[in-house]
DNA sequence: ATTCAAAGAATGTGATCACAAAAAAGCCGG
DNA sequence: CCGGCTTTTTTGTGATCACATTCTTTGAAT
């Protein structure tokens, strides 16, 4: 999910097992779960690797993020108190820090923390699980792309999200979330 | 997915294995995958059972269906030719047949076939997979609820969907799909 | 130097086993 | 007849193994 593994990287059951000090059996179960969630791909011969997403697939996943996360933010809005906004502010500072340090994995992790903190307020566990499944599928690709972007500025739309939350502005919040989710990915698919 | 197993039904690895003539290992992997997709729940002691959904969870899943399937139908619309509409018509007849026979499992299967046939035209495999994951989570509960409803009339909104497809009416299609997806579940959560 | 085939190594699969935890059954006293 | 305790059975977990398949490397011939 955090892009620690690049797209197309192959994994072996015995390798995972020895990496975590267990036998093949638990490694197999973990891999099977991640394959079911789309975080790993299973070749016809049973080999396992991180997915290499096509542009079409990236566009699809971005559209899914927009659909689900806009809804989640909309449901979180009426429950968002000052404590949450402060927390989002703090996480956003952490995001900016990672950007300044050019720490791609840390940036992705902090960015997702920002979104998760907001969506948790929606009290919609099934929707949040869906969103995280999408994140999981995009993890390796996001890392690769943010590595290419070499962005130096902190995310612009996060401040718009916070502002809309403060103002209780639902249309503005929906637009800001949709923009934040799609803009980062739209330009890399081209 | 088709509601052949009622909510809360417990399953054992050895039972599944012997049912399909395999050992525990493949049964475990299949169960783990289904747990990852939310089709089965895993108790703290490792016991596995079909999920018993709360009303909140049902509402959430219905909202997810509305979000994803409306988008899928919208993407399928420009690619929908006459052959597809004929096929949908035929499947819908099959749905009506199952309703008349009070065959709950057959009804659910035919109903999902109807939706899948439409969404396949969207050329959006990740979105379709998400929709099917939601179907999987609702399977047992849908069966229980349609058993209670004892409906005798074929689905009304399916004809609206077909009509909107013929007319190339996107707003009408989106509304029809949303209604078909939510109305069936909205009344049972109350 | 390149290509193709054969030998070798590595990998996933399904099965089986021992063990600990949990559920179920049995038993006894009230 | 019922509740609480003990015993028995059931169940999931992790490990190991044999085997077939696949991938990789090696070697030789052109």
Looking at the structure, tell me whether residues B121 and B30 fall in a common domain.
no
Phi-psi map region of B41: left, alpha, beta (phi>0 left; psi -120 to 50 alpha): beta
Please indicate, yes or no, if residue A2 is contained in any of the structural domains.
Answer: no
In this structure, is residue A103 part of a structural domain?
yes
Q: What is the mean pLDDT of residues B113-119?
A: 97
Residues 114-173 of chain B with CB under 8 A from chain A are 124-127, 129-130, 133, 137
**The domain containing residue B135 runs over which residues?**
55-186
Residues B130, B157 share a domain: yes
Between CA A51 and C1' C27 the distance (Å) reads 59
Nucleotides of D under 7 A from a protein CB: 10-17, 21-23
Residue A80 belongs to some domain of the structure = yes
Percent pLDDT > 70 in chain B is 95
**Looking at the structure, do residues A59 and A95 belong to the same domain, yes or no?**
yes
| In a shared domain, residues B87 and B170 | yes
Protein residues contacting strand D, judged by Cβ under 7 Å: A 17, 21-26, 29, 43, 45, 47; B 11-15, 24-25, 28, 45-48
For residue B122, the domain's CATH number is 1.20.120.530
Neighbours of A32 (CB within 10 A): 21
The Cβ of residue A100 has, within 10 Å, a number of other Cβ atoms equal to: 12
Residue A183 confidence class, pLDDT cut points 50, 70, 90: confident
pLDDT in tens, B83-97: 999 999 999 999 988
A133/A43 same-domain check: no
**Residues A60 and A35 both lie in one domain:** no
Q: Residues A69, A37: one domain?
A: no
Specify whether the CB–CB gap between B37 and B172 falls below 8 A: no
**Same domain? B96 vs B159:** yes
Q: Alpha-carbon dihedral of residues A170, A171, A177, A179, nearest 10 degrees?
A: -170
Q: Do B60 and A33 touch (CB under 8 A)?
A: no
**Residue of B4, B182, B161, B24 whose CA lies nearest to B84:** B161
Where residue A102 falls (left for φ over 0; alpha for ψ -120 to 50; beta otherwise) is left
Residue A1: inside a domain:
no
- Residues B95, B146 within the same domain: yes
Query: Same domain for B66 and B32?
Result: no
- Tell me if A4 is assigned to some domain: no
Task: Give A133-153 pLDDT, tens digit per residue.
Answer: 999 999 999 888 877 766 667
Residues A31 and A114 in one domain: no
* Same-domain status, B86 and B142: yes
Residue A16 tokens read as: 């995972």
The residue with tokens 């300044």 is A100
Looking at the predicted structure, is the pLDDT value of residue B167 above 60? yes
The answer to whether residue A108 sits within a structural domain is: yes
* Percent of chain A surpassing pLDDT 90: 80
Count how many domains chain A has.
Answer: 2
Nearest CA in chain B to A58: B126
Whether A5 maps to a domain, the answer reads no
């Amino acid at each position: 999910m955090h892009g620690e593994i690049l797209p197309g990287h192959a994994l072996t059951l015995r390798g995972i097992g020895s990496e975590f000090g267990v036998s093949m059996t638990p490694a197999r179960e973990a891999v099977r779960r991640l394959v079911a969630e789309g975080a790993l791909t299973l070749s016809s011969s049973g080999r396992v690797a991180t997915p290499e997403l096509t542009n079409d697939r990236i566009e699809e996943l971005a559209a899914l993020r927009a659909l689900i996360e806009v809804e989640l933010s909309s449901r979180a809005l009426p429950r968002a108190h000052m404590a949450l906004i402060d927390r989002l502010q703090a996480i956003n500072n952490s995001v900016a820090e990672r950007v300044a340090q050019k720490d791609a994995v840390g940036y992705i992790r902090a960015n997702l923390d920002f979104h998760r903190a907001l969506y948790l307020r929606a009290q919609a566990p099934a929707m949040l699980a869906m969103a995280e499944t999408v994140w999981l599928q995009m993890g390796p690709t996001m890392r690769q792309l943010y590595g290419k972007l070499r962005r130096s500025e902190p995310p612009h739309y996060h401040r718009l999200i916070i502002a809309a939350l403060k103002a209780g502005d639902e249309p503005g919040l929906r637009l800001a979330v949709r923009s934040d989710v799609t803009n980062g990915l739209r330009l890399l698919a081209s």
